[in-house]
Structure 1
Amino acid sequence: MSNLSESIKAIKEASKEDRFTYLTILQYHVTSPEILPTLNEVLQDADLTQEIGWDLVQMLLNIDGSETCLETVARLGNPREVVIKVMEALEGLTVAWHDEVVVDVDDPGVIPDSKIPGKFITLLGMLAILHQRIKTKYPSRFLGPSLVKVFEAYQPTPEMTASVINLVYSLSGRKRPPLPSRTSSINVANPDQDGDVSKNAPDPEAEQEDPQEEAMQRKLLQAFVTCILQRYVNAHDMLWSPRLLEVYNPKKNVPGKKTTIEAFRENEVLQKRDAIVGQLVALLRDLGLDKCSNQFVKSIYEGPVHRDPLAAFNNFSSADDIHFSPGGSVCLIAYWLFSRDVFSSDSPWPEMHIFPDHASILGRFLGQDVQSEILASPGIADALLAIGLGLEHRNLIKAEDYTNLMAYHHNLTLISVFHPDIQVRNAATSFAGTLLHSEPDDHTRLEILEDLLENCMFASLKACAVTWLKEELIAAKSSKRSNQFSSPDVIERLQYFLFPDMLSLNESSPEALIEFWAQNHLFLLQVANFAYFLFTGLQELVPAGMGAAVGQRFVEPLLAAAEKLEKAEGLDGEDRMQLRILTDRLRSLGLQ
């Protein structure tokens, strides 16, 4: 291995050799950061860099501190050749991600001290310069494939997302606005904006641009940013729906307990999340996507919900062939509503209603395999919930007479079951309850509750249905109105769903009882409390003879099963405490 002085002499003197020989010499001598300043001096020879620049991209990318040399290659190398090498390098980063193990939960997709984000940022800085240098009749044919490679190599970290934002501003011909001086600001290298444009060599194959190109390039950038927005929101808990609930129902905030809004205001990591999403939305606004028109809304649920916008980036003939990310569009609408109500922004007013627009979007996104969809896209599920909350808050309920509240309510409750974040689950439960109680038709409200109690397989949801039924009974009594919830008929209709026959538990083994308890304890505890409320506070709604029947088929077998469970092994302290609560409540009914 040669020493530094020998390497400096070699790369200076050998620059007059034929290009193949010189590249071989560079590969031998350019192996450490110390040689890079000398190489950058040599690369100021525009003719030389025009010929060999594209062959240097991968070699330099693997050397720390090579950003200046790579910027020179981007400015002076043949832009059409260098851009191909940059795309190849991005493809290499995509492969490299799979060799790294994710261990940093606060920085999804990246391990500490990984060099991949830095390489990504450097390559995007080169792309920003290169695409402005390429003067061709159809620049979108270069732009589309480049954006695909960028997205494939992208990981939703703050720095990499900031780099993407810089790139899009450069490609759109706009300067990124100065960021506010706060801890949430993310600044990364931006050679196109900070560098000297006068150093750019002209495109040796320059052509006059086609008039349709401007619209196609703008649509490409818009679609690309919606893909980035979806990816970022799915990777980070934005908690839009819980925060909206805190704004809409401040009386429900627990005194002395930090709210989610306060947490996002005080925590630097959470501040960055809000800042980055805000910057992505601002970028879309600068690109012309700044109206929540009904046409924009319908495009989300009238087209294929699982459309891959990037699939068209390599094959399109007009701007109409390029489509936004459906999930990214949902996140955009959610942020418009959220930022208007939480940050008092001037976001556009939504030209949509819960029925049919939001109900259609929600149903299309959740699809047939609801659990998989929610777990794969938790950010979109939160965004969908936030949109519903925002529309309900604005009383934008329905644009037509027909509404299928049961199907819509069902989808909301599935978010409350399957979403991985408890705050989003609670927000979904709260919204589902609000929507149920606000339905003017008491027959519809009862049908929804009956369907949940009869057909739902999730104990937590059945427990919610019991709570909602109790609230309906209280509301009917308070208002002194005659409806489905003001007579014993409602309890007669629902009693076998509320208090099912438990006699089969008498024959169950301890193991079977433990499994039964694990699956049903939430519902059983809620029903026991409801029974106490019903038999002690609303006796006028209890059908004649029902108390004795409930005691025989429900209370007595449950008490016997609880006694067996108390003696069984395999229950933790929490389970035993809840068993005692259930037992005490059932005995207080006096029905055994």
Structure 2
Amino acid sequence: MATTELDRDPSKAITAIRDARPPATDRFTYLTIVESNLSPEVLPTLNEVLQDAGLTQEIGWDLVYNLVSLPGSSSCLETIARLGNPREVILKVLETLELLGEEEGYEADDEAETTKEKKEGDVTKTEKFITLMGMLAILHGRIKTKYPSRFLAQTLQTVLGAYEAGSEEMTAAVINLVHSLSGKRARPPLPSRKSSVNVTNLDARGDRGKNAPDPEADDGKEGEAKTEDPDETELQQKLLLSFATCVLERYANGNDLAWAGRLVEFYEPERTVPGRRTLMGAFREEEGLLAKDGIVGNLVALIGDLGLRSCSRTFLKHVCEGPLHENPLAGSEDFESASQVKLSTGGAVCLVAYWVFSSTIFDADHPQPEMNIFPDHYAVLDKFLQDDAHAQIQQSPGTVEALVTIGFWLHANKFVSANPNTPLTNPTTSPEDPTSDFMRYIHLVTLIALFHPKLHVRNAASTLAGQVLHSDPSDDDRLKVLYDLLENCTFASLKARAITWLREELIAASTEKLHQATAFSTPQALETVQYVVFPNLDFLVEDTNLEEVVEYLVTNAPFLMQAVNLGLFLWSSPEKWKAVLPANMDATVRQRWFEPLLESIERVQKESKSSDVELGPLEGELAVLKGRLEDLAAKEGFTGGKGV
């Protein structure tokens, strides 16, 4: 806007806005005068002028973009929403929202905006969004048309494009909007999910009796009571439900809700470190985290108000077996029936996860899904991660955590397989590879354990993978998975985890009263995996340059440490494990694995001091690893008491 003398003198600007009203000037001239004199000081006068419904219908829509950035303009914008031409104003609000969506995210500019606000009085992006949501709630209530779903579809798509899940205030504004559009009154969250996030709702605070009629109402029947087509009503409700599931998924992906981590703490409290604050404790004590729980609780309650309150088989079939709907509102302005509107698959997964999570942690009364890890959870997990799992996990961390949460709850409640006495495989699996589905499931969960950005989710996924592995009644299946991970996995941390699972299998087999020998109660298991747990490391001492040795040790440090720990576990009590130790395994491991590994570590420790090779954190890891190797060398069962 141009700076004029009137801008610097509010009294002159106020006079101009009051005196230049039509018919003193035509509407185009008057609009120019208003826009060139906008400032916080003139807003009360402008709001008085806008009470003229005829004038507001002429110029109100053109003021939206400029007013929304002006502090204190919410009253003027509310008047425009109540008196302006609703169809024209909606288009301008949506256009403004699209431009708002192109602005920098609130997280990136929050501090800068706070500073600017104090100096210049700027309106934040979040405040603009909240005001526009209030306007949309008013405007949609005013439009009288045979097919209001077409306006609604466009609005919901645009709102979703501008919505930022990291903002609790934006999310609360979206919840208010859906409550207004659906005719459902907002209800307070449960005490266990108390949220302190409150935002202004223009629609709720005003008097709807002040709304002007729709000047373009279909058939000119604005004032007559009409019954809406029930199919149209159903379509609108389904659009709102689809939108709500999209928002839930966005919110879960934009915030660390720690569902999986908190379930692990609940089911396995022995895993928590004494004296360290738990995730459960943090979400009870921190106001910001309490607010997140409250927001999610309100979103789930909203979805229930829109009709999705039960976990029916039809709903679960959509989640587990149906196609993946990532953007279900795309093209929704052309939908003609509710059956064409799909829910966000990720949002549905988050909903099921919250149901089982809150039923467990909050003792809330939510439906529990009638599903099992096999085949139901496996199907939805495979659907989400079958194409570029790494990218999917990074882009949708909340949805992926929801998948882990569901799996963890299913296992804890013993919903592992629809056929618990048979191997965890699909009847359609190829007879040449009867364990492929089971192995695929373990593989997918271990990918989450590797790639998820949150440590507590990685830990939960790793725990789930081990639990499901141990749940398979087929010992051959379990051994095959362990061998596959140890031989083919390129990630040392997962190979290390596989060694831990191997040890757990050996312990379980030794303590269970077995009616017949199994792979883990006989030498079969260690015979199968010994050459991948303790591979031949002669190459480390055969003309290998120092940099290559260091690279190998850096890459494989977690795996090597767990292998040493397994050796200490086995040969510290060789009599106990005599039944499972293959003949001469100690000599084989000592010659092909132990001796070259110890020699290479000693070489690196010695030569790195006189070379340009920087060890960094590896230096400490090598010291620990060497110490563990020396402990192993001292075990009589491993070396016959001869030491290193």
TM-score (norm 1): 0.95
Q: Aligned AA for 2:453?
A: P
| Worse-superposed segment, 279-288 or 240-249 | 240-249
Per-residue CA shift, 1:387-406, capped at 9, x if unaligned? 01111222222235644322
Tell me, in whole angstroms, the C-alpha distance in 1 between the residues paired with 2:126 and 2:109.
Answer: 15
Pair 1:329–1:50, CA change in 2 (3 A): same
Tell me, in whole angstroms, the C-alpha distance in 2 between the residues paired with 1:190 and 1:587.
Answer: 69
| Worse-superposed segment, 451-460 or 119-128 | 451-460
Pair 1:183–1:177, CA change in 2 (3 A): closer
The CA deviation at 1:429 is 1.1
Tell me, in whole angstroms, the C-alpha distance in 1 between the residues paired with 2:486 and 2:62.
Answer: 68
Q: Aligned AA for 2:603?
A: K
Q: What is aligned with 2:217?
A: 206
Q: Does 1:467 align with 2:500?
A: yes
Pair 1:350–1:372, CA change in 2 (3 A): same
SS at match of 2:229: coil
Corresponding residue to 1:13 among 2, 12, 19: 19
Q: Aligned AA for 2:460?
A: A
Q: What is aligned with 1:221?
A: 240
Native 8 Å contact 1:185 1:272 kept in 2 = yes
The CA deviation at 1:571 is 4.7
Corresponding residue to 1:517 among 510, 531, 553: 553
Q: What is aligned with 2:264?
A: 245
The CA deviation at 1:114 is 6.7
Per-residue CA shift, 1:193-249, capped at 9, x if unaligned? 111111111112223543311101101101111111111111111111110111112
The CA deviation at 1:101 is 7.8
Q: What is aligned with 1:553?
A: 592
In angstroms, what is the RMSD of aligned CA positions? Answer: 2.2
Q: What is aligned with 1:130?
A: 139
Q: What is aligned with 2:531?
A: 496
The CA deviation at 1:411 is 1.1
Aligned residue pairs total 587
Q: What is aligned with 1:166?
A: 176
The CA deviation at 1:286 is 0.5
Per-residue CA shift, 1:21-80, capped at 9, x if unaligned? 211221222x21010000101111111112211111112122211100000000000111
Q: Aligned AA for 2:467?
A: T
The CA deviation at 1:587 is 3.0
Pair 1:577–1:97, CA change in 2 (3 A): closer
The CA deviation at 1:553 is 1.0
Native 8 Å contact 2:189 2:294 kept in 1 = no
| Structure 2, unaligned runs of 5 or more | 219-225, 427-436, 634-638
Q: What is aligned with 1:422?
A: 455
Native 8 Å contact 2:149 2:333 kept in 1 = no
Q: Aligned AA for 1:86?
A: V
Q: Does 1:151 align with 2:194?
A: no
Tell me, in whole angstroms, the C-alpha distance in 1 between the residues paired with 2:548 and 2:484.
Answer: 27
Pair 1:571–1:475, CA change in 2 (3 A): farther
Q: Does 1:70 align with 2:77?
A: yes
The CA deviation at 1:302 is 3.1
Q: What is aligned with 1:254?
A: 273
Per-residue CA shift, 1:527-566, capped at 9, x if unaligned? 0111121122245132222222211111111011101221
Tell me, in whole angstroms, the C-alpha distance in 2 between the residues paired with 1:498 and 1:550.
Answer: 10
The CA deviation at 1:290 is 1.0
Q: Aligned AA for 1:26?
A: V
Tell me, in whole angstroms, the C-alpha distance in 2 between the residues paired with 1:183 and 1:6.
Answer: 49
Per-residue CA shift, 1:457-498, capped at 9, x if unaligned? 111111111111111111212225321111122211211111
Native 8 Å contact 2:326 2:346 kept in 1 = no
Q: Aligned AA for 2:172?
A: A
| Worse-superposed segment, 40-49 or 475-484 | 475-484
Q: What is aligned with 2:287?
A: 268
Q: Does 1:284 align with 2:293?
A: no
Q: Does 1:436 align with 2:489?
A: no
Native 8 Å contact 1:294 1:352 kept in 2 = no
The CA deviation at 1:438 is 2.2
Corresponding residue to 1:25 among 33, 37, 43: 33
Tell me, in whole angstroms, the C-alpha distance in 2 between the residues paired with 1:333 and 1:508.
Answer: 53
Q: What is aligned with 1:448?
A: 481
Q: What is aligned with 1:505?
A: 540
Native 8 Å contact 2:70 2:123 kept in 1 = no
Tell me, in whole angstroms, the C-alpha distance in 2 between the residues paired with 1:95 and 1:341.
Answer: 40
Q: Aligned AA for 1:297?
A: L
Tell me, in whole angstroms, the C-alpha distance in 1 between the residues paired with 2:603 and 2:461.
Answer: 36
Per-residue CA shift, 1:170-197, capped at 9, x if unaligned? 0001221245799732111101111111
The CA deviation at 1:368 is 2.8
Q: Does 1:327 align with 2:346?
A: yes
Q: Aligned AA for 1:565?
A: V
Q: Does 1:305 align with 2:305?
A: no
Q: Does 1:529 align with 2:535?
A: no
SS at match of 2:562: helix
Q: Does 1:544 align with 2:552?
A: no
Q: Aligned AA for 2:134?
A: G
The CA deviation at 1:434 is 1.6
Q: What is aligned with 1:412?
A: 445
The CA deviation at 1:501 is 0.6
Q: Does 1:142 align with 2:151?
A: yes
Pair 1:114–1:471, CA change in 2 (3 A): farther
Native 8 Å contact 1:488 1:542 kept in 2 = yes
Q: What is aligned with 2:223?
A: none
SS at match of 2:20: helix
Tell me, in whole angstroms, the C-alpha distance in 1 between the residues paired with 2:505 and 2:56.
Answer: 77
Tell me, in whole angstroms, the C-alpha distance in 2 between the residues paired with 1:452 and 1:73.
Answer: 64
Pairing of 1:41-190 with structure 2 (within 5 A): 41-97=48-104, 102=108, 115-156=124-165, 157-178=167-188, 184-190=195-201
Q: What is aligned with 2:628?
A: 585
Q: Aligned AA for 2:488?
A: N
Pair 1:131–1:350, CA change in 2 (3 A): same
Q: Aligned AA for 1:10?
A: A
Native 8 Å contact 1:226 1:324 kept in 2 = yes
Pair 1:114–1:532, CA change in 2 (3 A): farther
| Worse-superposed segment, 280-289 or 489-498 | 489-498
Q: What is aligned with 1:368?
A: 387
Pair 1:355–1:101, CA change in 2 (3 A): closer
Per-residue CA shift, 1:238-293, capped at 9, x if unaligned? 11111011111223333322211111110111111111111110100011111111
Pair 1:580–1:313, CA change in 2 (3 A): same
Native 8 Å contact 1:312 1:321 kept in 2 = no
| Worse-superposed segment, 123-132 or 181-190 | 181-190
Tell me, in whole angstroms, the C-alpha distance in 1 between the residues paired with 2:491 and 2:507.
Answer: 25
Tell me, in whole angstroms, the C-alpha distance in 2 between the residues paired with 1:72 and 1:188.
Answer: 19
Native 8 Å contact 2:486 2:498 kept in 1 = yes
Q: Aligned AA for 2:211?
A: N
Native 8 Å contact 1:175 1:193 kept in 2 = no
Native 8 Å contact 1:292 1:349 kept in 2 = yes
Tell me, in whole angstroms, the C-alpha distance in 1 between the residues paired with 2:74 and 2:631.
Answer: 76
The CA deviation at 1:103 is 5.9
Native 8 Å contact 2:69 2:123 kept in 1 = no
Native 8 Å contact 1:337 1:387 kept in 2 = yes
The CA deviation at 1:372 is 1.1
| Worse-superposed segment, 85-94 or 52-61 | 52-61
Native 8 Å contact 2:248 2:296 kept in 1 = yes
Native 8 Å contact 2:189 2:195 kept in 1 = no
Q: What is aligned with 2:429?
A: none
